[in-house]
Amino acid sequence: MRFRFYNGGFIADVESYIREYISEHPEVEVYVGTDSANSGSAGKQPATVFVTTICFRHPGNGVHYIYSKEKKPRISDLFTKIWSEIERTNEVASFVKPIIGDRTLFLDLDINSLKQFGSHIAYAAANGFLIGQGYSVRSKPQAWAAHAADWLLK
């Protein structure tokens, strides 16, 4: 995955960028979140677009983030689409965790804990999968890193 800044500029070496950023800002908390949206209308190829964010939260002083955007063939099945978000979050988390060392890495999922919402279909599986790997996992409505990804999709 290639990561970029909000202004669209690409980051040549994301590992070095993360190392330097947390070294310069030792107080930051690190979050990863993914969201997706289906796109495609008349004349356009149907696709599913994924955005994954790596967010650096400065307690009491805002958030800096970088993100990756990826387009894949359209995924119509809700569980499969959500699970693809989980896989991307896990992939990025697996990359980030060794870089940040003993800091807590928070994973924000675009999944609702309430049964009446469609995304709940993957709630138990996603939490079991990621918590079982030792991550701190948050879901809607607390999952603001996933909300940042949602914002970038629009």
pLDDT tens-digit profile of 24-81?
Answer: 999 999 999 999 999 876 557 899 999 999 999 999 999 999 999 999 999 999 999 9
pLDDT tens digits along 131-142: 999 999 999 888
What ranges make up the beta strands (E) of the chain?
29-39, 47-57, 63-73, 105-112, 136-140
pLDDT tens digits along 104-119: 999 999 999 889 999 9
End-to-end CA distance of the chain: 20
For residue 48, give both structure tokens: 């599913």
pTM higher than 0.85, yes or no?
Answer: yes
Cα–Cα distance list, 78 to 7, 68, 122 (Å): 31, 21, 9
Strand-pair partners of 38? 48
DSSP 121: G
CB contact set of 67 (below 8 Å; sequence gap of 6+): 3, 4, 6, 51, 52, 53, 54, 148, 149, 152
Q: For residue 114, what pLDDT is reported?
A: 86
Q: Which CATH class is domain 14-153?
A: alpha beta
Smallest CA-to-CA distance from 139 within 150, 151, 127 is with 127
